[in-house]
Amino acid sequence: MGSLFFKIALVLYFLSMLGYIASLVVRRVQVAKVSTWVLFSAFAVHTASIIFRWVETGYSPVTNLYESLSFIAWAVSGIYLIFQVKTKTRVLGAFVSPVVLVMAITASARLVEDAAIPAILMGSWVSIHVMLTLTGSALFALACLSGIMYLVQDDLIRNKKAYGFSRLLPSLRELDRINNICIVTGFFLLTLGIIAGSIWARNVWGSHWQWDPKQVSTLISWIIYALLLHQRFAIGWKGRKIAFLSIAAFVILLFTFVGVNIFFITVHNFI
């Protein structure tokens, strides 16, 4: 059931992406509205698939890279839908839905395989740890996306090309606001996630912190996000610089997520 629902969600994600892109081409709000509903149903079906998987397997549905990608895709679309209600900037959907789709497709590659999972991944602390850090990552992904959009819009306005494509992007202030909300909540969740992880680490490895490459790399991302927040709130950085920083921080976070497993030997080799 879980994988059937996931496939349906995949198709719906694809349709909503087509809809959002079509809405840019024909420039009709109505098309974007329909796409939002399609995305909403994709999200609902995806939620069902995650719950089914949880019930079917008996452990939290975030124990490997593919499941995690599926979870992030789910979180990104959920968070986007919340923003949609709050900010009414539907155009963001055209940028979010392809990202969600790519993650969901990558996830689908090996999602059906039902590999036996290591015993240390059982338990509630690890589930909490993973879900918090992944939701945090989803928020950082959106922050990165709004950062990219900010840079594009800034460049268009600055270079006096504020027509055509620029019309489709939200205002600078809106993009900066979305970026800010995402990073603040993302940072909060990542911090909680790291704490939950260290409690779990104490249970399975005996100490809270092992200086494992994964942990170090996560710490670096955490420090960059902390720095970013400091610059924004204490120094008063806004706009372009923050946008750059949130893109850079996310690239490092991505490396933490997939790169570390490839280039380093890590005890944290599940995700």
Partner 1 sequence: MDIILVGMNHKTAPLEIREKLSISCDDDTATFEKIKEISHINEALYLSTCNRVEVLAHVFDAAAAETYLKDLVFSHGNLSPEEMERCLYIYRNDSAVRHLFRVASSLDSMVMGEPQILGQVKDAYRRSVEQEAAGVMLNKLLHNAFRVAKRVRTETTISNNAVSVSSTAVELAKKIFGNLRGKNALVIGAGEMAELAAKHLISNGVRKVIFTNRTYERALKMANDLHGDTVSFDLLEEALSDVDIIISSTGAPGYIIDEKMIAAALRRRKNRLLFIIDIAVPRDVDPALGKTDNVYLYNIDNLQSVVDDNVKNRINEAEKAETIIDEEVTEFSRWLKRLKVVPTIVDLRGKVESIIKGEMERADPWMKNLDDGERENVEILVNSIINKILHDPVTGLKEESENGAANPYVAVIKKLFKLD
Q: Report the residue number, 93 or 170, with the smaller CB distance to partner 1.
A: 170
- Going along the chain, which residue ranges are E strands? none
Select the residue interacting with partner 1 from 58, 85, 113, 236 (CB under 8 A). 236
Tell me the chain's radius of gyration from C-alpha atoms: 19
Residue 179 has which token pair?
């970026």
Distance of CA 76 to the CA centre of its chain: 5
Q: Would you give the binding string for partner 1 spanning residues 41-80, x where CB under 8 A is met?
A: ----------------------------------------
Binding of partner 1 by 237 (CB under 8 A): yes
Select the residue interacting with partner 1 from 24, 120, 240, 251 (CB under 8 A). 240
Residue 182 has which token pair?
């995402």
Distance CA 95, CA 112 (A): 28
DSSP state at residue 135 = H
Q: How many of the other CB atoms lie within 10 Å of CB of 226?
A: 14
Binding of partner 1 by 85 (CB under 8 A): no
Taking the complex as a whole, how short is the minimal distance between the CB of residue 266 and partner 1, in angstroms?
39
Under rule CB under 8 A, which residues in 186-215 are in contact with partner 1?
none
Contact window for partner 1 (CB under 8 A) among 59-67, 124-132, 136-144, 159-167: 159-167
Q: Between 172-205 and 240-254, two packed helices, what is the crossing angle to 10 degrees? A: 30
Binding of partner 1 by 230 (CB under 8 A): no
Is residue 241 within 8 A of residue 179, CB to CB? The reply is no
Contact window for partner 1 (CB under 8 A) among 10-18, 104-112, 143-151, 236-244: 236-244
Q: Report the residue number, 147 or 170, with the smaller CB distance to partner 1.
A: 170
Closest CA to 131 of 55, 201, 50: 50
Taking the complex as a whole, how short is the minimal distance between the CB of residue 153 and partner 1, in angstroms?
7
Closest CA to 59 of 131, 133, 125, 123: 123
Select the residue interacting with partner 1 from 1, 4, 11, 27 (CB under 8 A). 27
Residues contacting partner 1: total by CB under 8 A? 21
Under rule CB under 8 A, which residues in 163-182 are in contact with partner 1?
163, 166-167, 170-174
Residue 129 has which token pair?
């740890």
Binding of partner 1 by 153 (CB under 8 A): yes
**In degrees rounded to 5, what are phi and psi of residue 169?**
-90, 150
Residue 217 has which token pair?
């790399």
Taking the complex as a whole, how short is the minimal distance between the CB of residue 247 and partner 1, in angstroms?
16
Binding site for partner 1 (CB under 8 A): 27-28, 153, 157-158, 160, 162-163, 166-167, 170-174, 236-241
